């Protein structure tokens, strides 16, 4: 079975540190109906004032042509990797179908929904 880069395929080992969205965000790329590509990142955002280990906020960030075009905080916590993957897949599906615009306002209902 092939394992994608967004899915952990290893075996549980007790001496490994817990993996979270702090160090391993979920990243996907969506192709919009007009052919443009949008990079999606779901994870703990960078903050120059607060160490990442102290943050539990998870956000959705969209990038196009190397520029941030939207960012919204979610209701997820940093240890909710499978939920973040589900959210990223929903964003990709919505963007690719044209049902979701690449804006913060369009992302908010998805970001606010518990999983």
Please provide the DSSP assignment of 36-64 as one string.
Answer: -EEEEEEEPPP-SSS-GGG----EEEEEE
CA end-to-end span of the chain: 26
Residue 13 lies in a domain: no
90: in domain: yes
* Structure confidence at residue 5 (pLDDT): 52
Q: Indicate if the pLDDT at residue 76 is higher than 80.
A: yes
Q: Report, as an integer, the average pLDDT of 15-23.
A: 66
Residue 32 contacts residue 39 (beta carbons within 8 Å): no
Query: Under 8 Å CB-to-CB from 114, ≥6 apart: which residues?
Result: 75
Q: How many domains, the chain?
A: 1
Token digits for 54? 């102290």
47, part of any domain: yes
Q: What is the pTM of this model?
A: 0.80
Read off the tokens for 64: 């196009």
Residue 35: predicted pLDDT: 97
- Domain region containing 90: 26-111
């Amino acid at each position: 079975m092939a394992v994608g880069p967004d899915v952990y395929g290893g075996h549980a080992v007790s001496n490994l540190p817990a993996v979270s969205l702090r160090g391993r965000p979920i990243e996907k790329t969506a192709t919009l109906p007009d052919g443009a590509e949008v990079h999606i990142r779901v994870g703990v955002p960078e903050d120059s004032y607060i160490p990442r280990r102290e943050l539990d906020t998870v956000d959705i960030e969209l990038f196009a042509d190397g520029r941030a075009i939207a960012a919204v905080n979610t209701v997820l916590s940093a240890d909710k990797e499978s939920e973040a993957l589900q959210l990223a897949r929903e964003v990709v599906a919505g963007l690719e179908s044209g049902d979701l615009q690449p804006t913060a306002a369009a992302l908010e209902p998805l970001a606010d929904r518990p999983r």
